[in-house]
Amino acid sequence: MSSFYSDTGQRSGIAGWMMSVDHKRIGIMYLSALLLFFSIGTSLGVMMRLNLISPGTFMGVHTYNRLFTIHGIIQIFLFIIPGIPVSFGNFFLPLLIGARDVAFPRLNRLSWWLYLAGAFLVLASLFLGGGALDTGWTFYAPYSIKTKTNVSLALFAVFILGFSSILTGVNFVTTIHRLRAPGMKWHRMPLFVWTLYATGWVQILATPVIAISLLLIILERFFGMGFFDPLKGGDPVLFEHMFWIYSHPAVYIMILPAMGIISEVVPVFARKTLFGYRAVAYSALAIAGVGYLVWGHHMFTSGMSDASRVVFSLLTFIVAVPSGIKVFNWVATLYKGSIRVDAPLIFALTFIFLFSIGGLTGLIQGALSANLHLHGTYWIVAHFHYVMFGGMGFSFLTALHYWFPKMFGRMYNERQAKIGWFFLFVGFNMLYFSMFILGVQGMPRRYFDYPPEYFTGHLVSTIGSWILVAGFVIVFRNLIIAIRKGPKAPDNPWGGTTLEWKVPSPPPHENFEEIPVITRGPYHYGNDKK
Amino acid sequence: METTKSRADEPGSGYEGAKLGMWFFLITELLFFGGMFLLYSVYRSKYSQDFHTAALEENLLLGSINTVILITSSFTMALSITAIRKGNKQLSSLLQAGTMLMGGIFLVNKYFEWSAKISHGIYPDSVLLLKRSSGEILFYGLYYVMTGIHALHVIIGIGVIGVMLFFTRREIINRESFVKLENTGLYWHFVDIIWIYLFPLFYLVT
Amino acid sequence: MKPGITNIVSAVDSTFLFITVTSVVLLVLVTFFMLYFVVKYNRKRHPQAEQIEGNLLLEIVWTVIPTVLVLLMFYYGWVNFSYMRNAPDDAMTVKVTGMMWSWQFEYKNGKQSNTLNVPLGKPVNLILSSADVIHSLYIPAFRIKEDAVPGLKTHLWFTPNEIGSYDIFCTEYCGTGHSHMLSKVVVMTGEDFEKWYGTAAPQGAKDRGLNLLQVKGCLGCHTTDGTGKIGPTFKGIFGRKEIVITGGKERDIVADEEYLKKSVLQPEADIVKGYPPIMPVIPVTSGELDDIIEALKGLK
Ligand code: HEA
Ligand code: HEA
Ligand code: CUA
Ligand SMILES: [Cu+2]
């Protein structure tokens, strides 16, 4: 049977891709775009690190301020938020629930176009008008209203990206409600599907709030209504609230699908059903639910009333518990398994380790008194790189290595993948762990220049970034070679039990010749019990 | 478009799926306006006296007329769906055109309201407005933004109904397949409901 | 971390240590079991997995214990926080204004300064606000931080216990000069402080002007020694010929009194070629402006 690569439908060439409504083609296109923006964004990160070992030598303060802003915007809005749902979600959601496509294939294509348009506008904003914006990715008013850089276009671009994200959320939630194969009850869904479901709801419920907040900033800049301008009676802190009402739930948009992938991979390599399926599934919903109520923990020093700070801190601690439940269940899944340590499992276990560090440091800064010291320092920078890069980033790499044979029909070199992992692991911890120490010492973030006592920490960190780059070069070189020359992959190289492994690699255009009928849970290994 | 035979019989793009998707979308719209309502309620409670005085200046008559017009248009929209379900293409087209017309009248009234204010020198950042109290500045800021974004939704709605009218004429929408028209109706009712909240907030808070 | 520089330090550090130690223990446990299982149940040693679907008791245990732990963490953080937020009544009040990109401290008797001078052992209550965008006052050695928000009054307090001079940073991004919006808090003995506090403001227009350049934060961006910084140097500025950009067009000017005054009051009107248009409007009275011009005349 021919794969979805050769089955082009009515159009061929570029149009066969751009006009395609096949979820797998859309997934592959998203994946390529994500990797492109990831390379651009991280390259900016490496340039920032270069400045920080010798401020002023390589760039001026204006350049630096714009670099970290664009680094943040690209990583957040073009890479990590669309991230796993649009790439692996698109490709695998229908396969995992036994469907031929998502509920609204053409809407899916529209999301993809909107994403491209948004990305294009972000890049255009760097060169038009007042040039690249310099507000930080948080766009705090009144600075974002006062600066002469091109904030309006960039915010408009983010607005469009938000629209794309909303449509993807609507599409996935409807798909999961309507298109599950016969017999796939809610408790027979693979966990990646559960997390996509929770994520979809967060996208639907949180994204509109940032859309309107950003629109208000644009309108402020053009018409000056004064909503966030104290001279006209407005309140700048209100913008912070509106921003974080979205942007805190957004961190769960980033991490939930990542957790879903870990829940898929651990059972397969332990040859064992997932420990505590229901606990893991419901904790995803709990994270999504409670995650709405904790945004104020970004504002412990903002001038908000002390009583609200106390409430937000309490809720912040509560939201950490379901993440803990997931970690414990993953570890318990390994118990009495029959474990093979292949590249995907190594990346998955690295996720657990790095995410735990990131999450636990989240607890430290979530405590009110400690936050007054740590807020706005490199401690926070370290925290979010651990959860975002160590968490979502490593989960992305897990998925890439786990599903690579299915997506491309080829195998990569296992040894190279492990060597790459080693460099990534060492480089990552050098780069970001030193930031925790810098933070405790009081090094503020978004600083172009700093007093000399912080030099050593920055030096170690920058050297780490080079090792990390080496790791990425090895990993991606390995995968790119595999796409071109790798040996053909079998349909089910890891012995997985979920539906995507029952179709050929790469899957045919129609996914399933016949829609399967589901009679048992997703991770059924072995002979005993149901 | 490249829909293959086997995909056509999928349930997702069918009636139930399309309705469900539309409801999810309306939730996001509601939250979008929710952000503005949040802003309104914060400033309203901070400057309730100023909001009170400012609202006195609103043109209650025009506002009430517009409310009646929008409610009526929601009604004709609903009737057009009933008509197409009975297979009455002619009547349905007429009712859709009527809905569009009423949307248009709504916008014309809005235009007169806005231009009257602007000619009195009351618009965001205007010299006259900046002389007033903080609460009034914010009240008018909210007034222009919220009714403006609502008007934008009315314009989009009119455009979409226009497309539906075209589909009805071409019988792409017919008595078997009318979910597109139904979803448009949902959208139009939503726009209507938002206005029903805006009306008291800006015209009746006196 | 040197403890005890202020009374606040131990309130922060004890919370920090408690949560960090708990977290490290949890992390070590999770990592240990993960690695131990991977080795022990490796496929070579353990070819057949045992299918275990879950265990309700375990689920309850690892929900309840972390919940108790996080509630403890919260409580600890909260108690110390309330202490940090409630200044004693006898504290000395200092008004702090953040502006792009300097700090200004104003004392009860009207004395202004761009460093925060405080007497040893006496509680100090800072009331913060901002003249333009959001800033945040941060003294790492004291473990305190709070945003300075335009249109809002926020507060911080501490009692310094050791003589010395400590860094003040701005930790809310506020534009170009954010990383140079630095100052110092100087803790001195009560006598030294009284001496400083009691000295009258500088006499003579020129000296007053020089002081104002300090206090208003002008020297954050302009130097007096001829080197370039964010803005053009003050050295020899009076009567200097410059090319400026006015409304997009270049023109030649001589920096006379009128031009200099306009540059302070409407910084965006004329921009010296080669510099970014970023100078904020800093509030000055006309008397202060005259003093500043006198001082600039003197900077040859
Ligand atoms: C993927 C993204 C992601 C994720 C998942 C998280 C998860 C968490 N974050 Fe983080 N956070 C960010 C991204 C993320 N964060 C970003 C981007 C910022 C900065 C934005 C900016 O200012 O630019 C930020 C900032 C931030 C702040 C504000 C800091 C400040 O500016 O002052 C706080 C404060 O409470 C916080 C807390 C937490 C907590 C408690 C969690 C929890 O959900 C973590 C839960 C996980 C664990 C706890 C670890 C695993 C559990 C165990 C090993 C078992 C033991 C557990 C217990 C005892 C409960 N985060
Ligand atoms: C997913 C999110 C993400 C990721 C992955 C990264 C990755 C990196 N970031 Fe981060 N960062 C953010 C999100 C992220 N960042 C955000 C949101 C902010 C806040 C911005 C703000 O304050 O507004 C921030 C801020 C931030 C700062 C703080 C700036 C400041 O406050 O002054 C620093 C400083 O060192 C930094 C550095 C880095 C570095 C060195 C990397 C490294 O990981 C980069 C390592 C290098 C690579 C990974 C390159 C590999 C790729 C290639 C070589 C190409 C490979 C080829 C192919 C794909 C074909 N970042
Ligand atoms: Cu002031 Cu940063
Ligand atoms: Cu958060």
Q: Identify the pLDDT of residue B3.
A: 36
For the segment A211-257, what is each residue's pLDDT rounded down to a tens digit?
A: 899 999 999 888 888 888 888 888 899 999 999 998 999 999 999 99
Is C133 an 8 Å CB contact of chain A?
yes
> Does ligand 2 have an atom closer than 6 angstroms to the CB of A454?
no
Q: Identify the pLDDT of residue A34.
A: 95
| Mean of pLDDT values over A434-446 | 95
pLDDT band at A132 (very low <50, low <70, confident <90, very high): confident
C7-85 CATH pick, 1.10.287.90, 1.10.486.10, 1.10.10.10, 3.30.300.30: 1.10.287.90
Q: How far apart are CA A389 and CA A45, in angstroms?
A: 12
For the segment A355-412, what is each residue's pLDDT rounded down to a tens digit?
A: 999 999 999 999 999 999 999 999 999 999 999 999 999 999 999 999 999 999 999 9
Instruction: Supply the mean pLDDT for chain C.
Output: 87
**Closest ligand, as measured to the CA of C98:** 3
Q: Which fold has domain C205-298?
A: Cytochrome Bc1 Complex; Chain D, domain 2 (1.10.760)
Which stretches in chain C have pLDDT values below 70?
A: 1-3, 200-201
B12 pLDDT higher than 70: no
A360:C26 CB<8 A: yes
Do B100 and B158 form a contact (C-beta atoms < 8 A)?
Answer: yes
Instruction: Give the closest of A20, A219, A234 to B145, CB-based.
Output: A219
**DSSP run (H or E) holding A481:** helix A455-485
Q: Which site among A212, A244, A295 would you substitute to test the B interface, given the most B Cβ atoms closer than 10 Å to its Cβ?
A: A212
pLDDT band at A9 (very low <50, low <70, confident <90, very high): low
In CATH, C92-197 is 2.60.40.420: yes
Q: How far apart are CA A138 and CA A144, in angstroms?
A: 9
Q: Give, using CA atoms, the residue closest to atom 1 of ligand 3.
A: C135
End-to-end CA, chain C: 45
Q: Give, using CA atoms, the residue closest to atom 39 of ligand 1.
A: A362
Q: Identify the pLDDT of residue A7.
A: 67
Q: Identify the pLDDT of residue B7.
A: 38
Residue length, chain A? 530
Instruction: Supply the mean pLDDT for chain B.
Output: 86
Q: Where are the alpha helices (DSSP H) in B120-133?
A: 127-130
pLDDT band at B9 (very low <50, low <70, confident <90, very high): very low
User: CA dist A416 to A344, A423, A477, A488, B24, Å?
Assistant: 13, 11, 9, 17, 45
Q: Identify the pLDDT of residue A283.
A: 92
A123 pLDDT higher than 70: yes
Is C91 an 8 Å CB contact of chain A?
no
Give me the residue spans of the domains in chain C: 7-85, 92-197, 205-298
Do B135 and B46 form a contact (C-beta atoms < 8 A)?
Answer: yes
A528 pLDDT higher than 50: no
Contacts of A277 (CB under 8 A, 6+ apart): A187, A191, A521, A523, C53, C54
Place of tokens 């139930």: B16
A237:C149 CB<8 A: yes
> Percent of chain A at pLDDT above 90?
67
Chain A residues within an 8 Å CB radius of B27: 204-205
> Does ligand 1 have an atom closer than 6 angstroms to the CB of A321?
yes
Q: Identify the pLDDT of residue B8.
A: 37
Range scoring the smallest mean pLDDT among A65-74, A375-384, A513-522, B23-32: A513-522
Q: Identify the pLDDT of residue A31.
A: 95
Residue A61 in tokens: 């303060």
- Written as one letter, the residue type at C70 is V
Q: Identify the pLDDT of residue B4.
A: 37
Closest alpha carbon to B193 in B77, B104, B21, B52: B77
Q: Identify the pLDDT of residue C177.
A: 87
Q: Where are the alpha helices (DSSP H) in A85-223?
A: 90-97, 105-125, 143-146, 151-178, 191-223
Q: How far apart are CA A240 and CA A213, in angstroms?
A: 10
pLDDT band at B52 (very low <50, low <70, confident <90, very high): confident
pLDDT band at A297 (very low <50, low <70, confident <90, very high): very high
Chain A residues within an 8 Å CB radius of C150: 142, 230, 236
B15-203 CATH pick, 1.20.120.80, 2.40.50.180, 3.40.50.620, 3.60.15.10: 1.20.120.80
User: Residue-wise over C31-53: b if at least 16 C-beta within 10 A, else e?
Assistant: beebeebbeebebeebeebebbe
Higher per-residue confidence, B45 vs C25:
C25
A510:B4 CB<8 A: yes
Residue C245's SS3 state is strand
Residue B69 to chain A, least CA–CA distance (Å): 27
Q: How far apart are CA A517 and CA A220, in angstroms?
A: 55
Q: Which residues of B, range 151-180, sit inside 8 Å of A by Cβ?
A: none
Place of tokens 């994520």: A199
> Does ligand 1 have an atom closer than 6 angstroms to the CB of A254?
yes
A339:C154 CB<8 A: no
Q: How far apart are CA A43 and CA A20, in angstroms?
A: 31
Q: How far apart are CA A175 and CA A90, in angstroms?
A: 11
A103:B38 CB<8 A: no
B6 pLDDT higher than 60: no
Ligand 1, pocket-test mutation among A251, A292, A388, most atoms within 8 A of CB: A251
Q: Identify the pLDDT of residue B206.
A: 63
Instruction: Supply the mean pLDDT for chain A.
Output: 91
Is B45 an 8 Å CB contact of chain A?
no
For the segment B112-159, what is each residue's pLDDT rounded down to a tens digit?
A: 988 988 888 888 888 888 888 888 888 889 999 999 999 999 999 999
Q: How far apart are CA A455 and CA A434, in angstroms?
A: 11
Q: What are the φ/ψ torsions at residue A344 (nearest 5 degrees)?
A: -60, -40
Residue A503's SS3 state is coil
C133:A146 CB<8 A: yes
Q: Which fold has domain A26-502?
A: Cytochrome C Oxidase; Chain A (1.20.210)
